[in-house]
Structure 1
Amino acid sequence: MKKIKTLCAVCAMAMCFSTLSVTASAEETSGGAALTREQCNKIVETAIEEYHIVVPDMEEYKAYIWDMAKESGLTANAVETQFQADFGKAAERKKLNEKRAADVYINSAEEAMAALDEINAEKHTAYNLGVGPFAEKADYLDALQLDKEAFKERVEHEMKNNQGGELVEKLGIEDFNEKLPGVSLRSIREDVQQESNGILTNLNTSDNTIVKGYLNARVFSVTGNPGSFTYERIKSYGVSNYGSAKNGSCSLSGSSGSHTAVIHASGYIGYISVTGQIPFSAG
């Protein structure tokens, strides 16, 4: 009887070890095991090939994904799932945005910002798009079917006397004249603190996010007339709000004597690389 009990115990232990081995093997196969740097790099390489992902720097991108995965304790399955979520419908989205760019309606961030720039030049206003992702706003504009003149007319009507309206609210349009001096005769040399919004573009889908930058500088003009100023010295610059982007970085182009300056900014939204510009004018 004792022998039988002993044999039963041994069999039970053997079955237990066998079950644990199968479970561990299943977890490893399904991506449940801890992710290694080598595995992560392989997943990134496979995803780039499968989804035709555009990245500015392969090694930097691999390091970024690894840091994200390590910080959050992600498994291989979780990383692959995130790639699927971010890029599974990228080709479909890019096709939609290309169609938008080709039609006569204002339904993209570039078109909306260009229309606002026209209003600003004509009316000496400083209207700008609100910071944040633009994909849902583009879908909203799609439904409105406003050409450029209709879009400009509606914006001006809604912004008149700060009344606001649905379009202004949906696009988060704000008037920077509330923060900056209006267009008028100025000193021939003065220090200015400027803010401007720009567009970061997802190269895989052409979707956008709006970001806000700042520029502190000394400007100069021989006459002091609007439109004649140049940047004499740029003191500081940066991106104060990256919208939905993370891990942002930026650089500046624009030297002494230039009428304009541009902040070149980039970052990531999830696993998506975004890049673009924030323009400034000396006035």
Structure 2
Amino acid sequence: MRSSNPVFSRRGFSRDNGGYAGFDAQYAQAGTATNPYATNPYAIDPTTGMPAAPARGAAMTIDDVVSRTAMTLGVLIVTSVVAWLALPVDPANLGKSYMIGVGAALVAFVLAMVQSFKRKPSPGLILAYAAFEGFFLGVISAATSYYLSAGVVIQAVLGTMCVFAAVLVAYKMRWIRVTRRFTGFVMAAALGFVLLMLANSLFMLFGGGDGLGFRSGPLGIVFGIVGVVLGACFLAMDFKQVEDGVTYGAPREEAWLAAFGLTMTLVWIYLELLRLFQILSGDD
């Protein structure tokens, strides 16, 4: 099984149908019989009296994932607050602030793509992504607070925290089981969702108004709920990847990759909730 997150999709955290961990599969393709991360570093070769395998490096733990995720989200929150306080969103300056926010979002997207195709996680790149993404979120949140109310932003933040907690509990209780069928369905639904949102944005850009109406009115509420549900599914898939990474002995540096993936998913959920609460507040 592969994760929905592009940063996880090139890593073999999970178990394949044949019963091998993803790290095992990578080394099997290279002609190595066993996963070096799973090898007992203290085993002795009886013929030579020497260690049978090189000592294993530090493996990823849940604490590693929690600490890296806290650092990444911390950077995102700090830059969000800076953008909120530094950029004016009154009618006279809103356009300029939005341009800066969109520019930050584009930089964050490029950094995310670069990290996604790197063979190893780069902490500096991941933290830079969080900084620019946070700046974008700060502009969007400040504008929402100014033109609607700060309550909408607070609702979106609390809603994101509640979704995270609910999915984590459901996953730990095994109410949600991440299987190949589950992953395939979520990926197909996510692709359809993104294509519809892209089409809606293009119609808004060239045709004006609400485009196809997917992000406003009753239809916008439906699509907002769908977006949140998809985000919750992504979270479950990310939890599965983290669990498999810990179980199968992924290197400690992979904790940065886990933090990166979780941050992207939480940003998705926050933006969907923010838009949903905007619609419910009467701003179509």
Structure 1 length-normalised TM? 0.29
Greater helix fraction, Structure 1 or Structure 2: 2
Q: More relative contact order in 1 or in 2 (CA 8 Å, sep 6+)? A: 2
- TM-score norm. by structure 2 comes to 0.29
Report the structure, 1 or 2, having the larger strand content: 1
Which of these two proteins has the greater Rg computed from alpha carbons? 1
